[in-house]
Amino acid sequence: MSKSTASNFFSQFATTIADWSGRPATFVLAVILVLAWAITGPIFNYSETWQLVINTGTTIITFLMVFVLQNSQNRDGKALQAKLDELILTSQAQNKFVGIEKLDEESLRRMSKTLAEEADCIEEVADGKTNARQPV
């Protein structure tokens, strides 16, 4: 299996699992399984093996779901970024914002601070125009 084929398979698998895991029916099934486990406690005298079953099962599922959900989130983030880049490129916005997600943390902080200052200036100008238009 080539790297591309394996990657595509995992992406499709992750999408399907993420889709299933977000459904109300899946949550209900998980609650039913936990309740069934809890009800069997007296039958197994609340043994260590009985406790180990739920601990092991939930740990394995959680461990695997981290990778599945991270893959889905990474793809969603990349798709959203591509959409934003397209909007920037087709608008009158500054093209310097395309690809800024790849900047280091300090550069992002500086850019964010500069944008916040520009937004404050624009807000002050807008407030000044609004106040000038209001009758006294």
Q: Contact, 111 vs 102, CB < 8 A? A: no
Burial of 14 (0-12, 13-18, 19+ CB in 10 A): buried
| Residue bearing tokens 């197994």 | 44
pLDDT at res. 98: 83
Number of residues in the chain = 136
The pLDDT-based confidence of 127 (bands split at 50, 70, 90) is: confident
Domain residue spans in the chain?
3-93, 103-136
Q: How far apart are CA 99 and CA 64, in angstroms?
A: 31
Q: In this predicted model, what pLDDT tens digit does every residue of 43-87 receive, in sequence order? A: 999 999 999 999 999 999 999 999 999 999 999 999 998 888 888
Q: What is the pLDDT of residue 56?
A: 97
Q: Is residue 131 pLDDT above 80, yes or no?
A: no
For residue 12, pLDDT beyond 60:
yes
pLDDT band at residue 121 under the 50/70/90 scheme: confident
Q: What's the N-to-C CA distance of the chain in angstroms?
A: 76
The Cα–Cα gap between 11 and 74 comes to: 10
